[in-house]
Amino acid sequence: MKYFLRYLLLLPTVVWAAGNQAVLYDSYGSSDRFVIEGRVIEAKKQAAAKNDDAWYSNLWHNLRTLKNSDREGVKLTVKVSDQEAHTVSAEEGYFHVALTPQRPLPPGWHAVNVQGKGAQGVGWVLIVPKSNTLGIISDIDDTVLISDVPDKSKLLKNTFLKNPTQRQAFPGTADFYRRLLAQNSDPKATPMFYVSASPRQLAESIKTFLMENNFPQGVLVTKQINGNGHDPLLDQKEYKAAKIEAIFSALPWVKFVLVGDDGELDPETYRALQEKYPQHVAAIYIRKVSPDPKRKTYAGQLDLTMASGRQ
């Protein structure tokens, strides 16, 4: 699967001209410091996904989504509330801005607006207050989204022949997340994070799935697999650990429930993080999807299927 995605992203790009757009990735931070990231690409006109879309339409849409024609050297103005910064899109069209507001932003979700020559876009940044001390960091595939990762044939069919309105969620998981986050004092700014090894090109599809299945609004972290400073392509454990450590560093007052599955390396990754950062890990929940009956279960590891099944 990983090699297949990499091959697709290296294929020559076929262009459907529709102007340029600035794609904003979810951001997060405290009231006095946060980072905005995005990419300037050529926009593509595509119809919204529908539950009755045929498999061949989904395949066409998904393959188009994976290929982007980037725009380097575009001067951009980034605005959050009354704060403003300037930057220029770099290799592969990516841009990165660190903001330290003159006036702290209040807790909650804030719109991020980007304007540039022939390009514009809107995204969101989550400001977490220090009164919210319990968060969730969740995997996506086979944790909240039924993907059948251990079966590569089923995984490819789920990924490319279905659209996000046709994908299935594990029952009870969204409600379980909401119950955990309800322990925080400020519900509009709960520290909910979804960390996925899927490429950033699939971020909008994942967001659509989460919204369609009533999961709590959260920051979606996806993998940058091209351009300078790209994430590790094959080492999923290194990739996920680095992203989670960055969250720990940005929100040191929050203890997180780490949620994943045993289809790949979530148990080992989370166990290592708990040993290294015990002050940041409140609990570990793992969904058992591995076909290996001897798959190791670590001390203290809780069963996600049982926990999300309780009403």
| pLDDT, tens only, 173-210 | 999 999 999 999 999 999 999 999 888 888 888 999 99
Q: What is the pTM of this model?
A: 0.85
**The pLDDT value given to residue 41:** 86
E strand residue ranges, 186-266 = 192-199, 219-223, 255-261
* Beta-bridge mates of residue 281: 256
- Domains of the chain, start order: 2-127 (2.60.40.10), 134-309 (3.40.50.1000)
Handedness of CA 218, 122, 251, 264 (dihedral sign): positive
> With DSSP H G I counted as helix, E B as strand and the rest as coil, what are the percentages for the chain, rounded to 5?
30, 30, 40
Which amino acid, residue 173? T
**The pLDDT value given to residue 82:** 83
E strand residue ranges, the chain = 20-25, 27-30, 33-42, 75-80, 83-88, 94-99, 108-116, 119-127, 134-138, 192-199, 219-223, 255-261, 281-287, 302-303
Positions of the chain with pLDDT lower than 70, given as ranges: 1-18, 44-68, 148-164, 226-235, 310-311
CB contact at 8 A, 171 and 307 = no
